[in-house]
Structure 1
Amino acid sequence: MKKPELSIVFPCHNEEANLPLLVEAIVEALTPLGIEYEVIITDDRSSDGSWQVLKKLAQQHPRVIGQRMRQNRGQSAASWAGMKISRGRYIVTMDADLQNDPMDLPKFIQALQQADCVCGSRVASRAEGDNIIRILSSRIANWVRNRLSDEQISDAGCGYRAFRRECIENLKFFNGMHRFLPTLFKIEGYSVIEIPIATNPRIHGSTHYGVWNRLFASFYDLLAVRWMKSRMFSYEIEERTDSALDDTAPR
């Protein structure tokens, strides 16, 4: 297989029934584009048959790469483990439960021509079909995240994102950081935009997130990101004795 242009990275925990449907949907979405891609799924030590299903899928589909964590380490660790072995020029992260629609992938690829990172926003689609408690908890969580991190992202909790490989090359990953990738990219000087995406109902299994962890799980991580932003500084050099350095100095 040729070197992929696109790497699609999934953390996975107890999604055995969704995985075959997920791979099928990705193939359907990307085949018409004629793009080289790879699908990297990291099993975060599932207690169901996810790993056995994943091994079969990797045998059936050359583009599918599966790996299994030695211990359950959470969504950030599983996401980072997938990104570390990815080879694509562009990286997409999304959930493995099919609530993020693979048919939106072409929209992300096109939007990457306008920015370094493209974030999905479920605001419009959630307003159409979600229950009121989930809508309110999501809006409150977004408000808290944006207030503490000084951002204006409409759906900070959405993990459906696409970005250029260079965005992550200098990042130091920490637990919970998957929630704040757009902010961390901005700190590094990369551009971030949002696009509206569809939200599908979960077909199999149950969500790992409820109202309380939507509101409070990321609070301490937010404080860390806020501290990082407050410690940023910039400077300008007025002149140098060696003018040859002007072409190599950061701007």
Structure 2
Amino acid sequence: MVKQPPFSILIPVFNERENIGPVIEEVLDVAPSQVPLDLIVIDDGSTDGTQAVLDTLAARHEALRVIHHARRSGKSAALRTGALAARGLWIGTMDGDGQDDPKDLLRMAAEIDLGTIGPIGLVGGVRQQRTDGDDRKYASKFANGLRRRLLKDDCPDTACGLKVIPRDLFLAFPFFDALHRYLPAFTRHYEKQAVYVPVTNRPRQHGESKYTNLGRAAAGIGDLMGVLWLMRRTHFPSVAQLQRPDQPAPPTAVSEKI
């Protein structure tokens, strides 16, 4: 009998001391018993006590692994750290601020077979009735429209934190600081299909967003030009199989320092 591979859920977090505990407990509460859970929280150099909260929870829950960055390196770097440590063929991503519903991530994972890699390379969430405020919604709508026209990725909400993607496909993408915002574009560029699922967007209960509209816009234009250059200068053959049958399991330490 073939053993069901785990579903690796990656949660990057920075200064979310009040939010991350309830997020982790909710993920563990809704995770189905028939699918092994590999929950990895990547603390991206938090300075508000998040680290201590995570270490306490990791000692309590066997399914949880915590990795600490020594300094803040960004969301894409945190996701890459988590993907390198992941044990599943597929990884699911969600934010640690409580705005993502883990039940949505499980619904998205049901769109594919977690034990195989097929033509679908990405299941992305599309936030409904967003709670971010009008300024951020309008800015996001403009950015999404510009990106879709230039990259032709057909993604309605690339900034949604909820995504399900093969681990090896994610690690095959060229790495840069804003990679997490261009997963749909690179998925299509690597000749894989994408599926999009409506998801809930819940209001933040504690703290504030780490991003501003001006900051997003300033970085976004440069990132978009860089992605266009990468896609014009790189060509890849179709990948028929991404399974790693002979690769040894990654380290199993509960808490690590990077």
Q: How far off is 1:137 after superposition? A: 1.2
Counterparts of 1:64-79 in structure 2, within 5 Å, are 64-79=64-79
Q: How far off is 1:115 after superposition? A: 2.4
Q: In 2, Cα distance between the equivalents of 1:174 and 1:139?
A: 23
Which residue in 1 is equivalent to 2:214?
A: 212
One-letter amino acid of the counterpart of residue 38, structure 2: E
1:119 and 1:193 in contact (8 A); partners too: yes
* Cα distance change, pair 234–93 in 1 and its aligned pair in 2 (3 A): closer
Q: How far off is 1:147 after superposition? A: 2.4
Q: Check if 1:116 corresponds to 2:121.
A: yes
Q: Check if 1:223 corresponds to 2:228.
A: no
Q: Using structure 2 for the length normalisation, give the TM-score.
A: 0.83
Which residue in 2 is equivalent to 1:245?
A: none
One-letter amino acid of the counterpart of residue 121, structure 1: V
Q: In 1, Cα distance between the equivalents of 2:132 and 2:56?
A: 34
Which residue in 2 is equivalent to 1:42?
A: 42
1:167 and 1:190 in contact (8 A); partners too: no
Q: CA RMSD in A?
A: 2.0
Q: How far off is 1:140 after superposition? A: 0.9
Counterparts of 1:90-105 in structure 2, within 5 Å, are 90-105=90-105
One-letter amino acid of the counterpart of residue 82, structure 1: G
Q: Could you report, residue by residue, the CA deviation over 1:88-129 in whole angstroms, capped at 9, with x for unpaired residues?
A: 12101111111111121221111125822101011x322xx5
2:13 and 2:41 in contact (8 A); partners too: yes
Q: How far off is 1:169 after superposition? A: 4.1
1:119 and 1:161 in contact (8 A); partners too: yes
Q: In 2, Cα distance between the equivalents of 1:234 and 1:40?
A: 30
1:138 and 1:214 in contact (8 A); partners too: no
Q: Could you report, residue by residue, the CA deviation over 1:124-150 in whole angstroms, capped at 9, with x for unpaired residues?
A: 322xx5532222111011112222322
Q: In 2, Cα distance between the equivalents of 1:188 and 1:214?
A: 26
Q: Which has the higher strand share?
A: 2
* Cα distance change, pair 67–166 in 1 and its aligned pair in 2 (3 A): closer
1:29 and 1:105 in contact (8 A); partners too: no
Q: Give the number of the structure with larger relative contact order, counting CA–CA contacts within 8 Å between residues 6 or more apart.
A: 2
Q: What residue ranges of structure 1 are gaps of 5+ in the alignment?
A: 236-251
1:125 and 1:197 in contact (8 A); partners too: no
Q: How far off is 1:234 after superposition? A: 7.8
Q: Could you report, residue by residue, the CA deviation over 1:210-233 in whole angstroms, capped at 9, with x for unpaired residues?
A: 221233322211111111222355
Aligned-pair identity in percent equals 31
* Cα distance change, pair 157–96 in 1 and its aligned pair in 2 (3 A): same
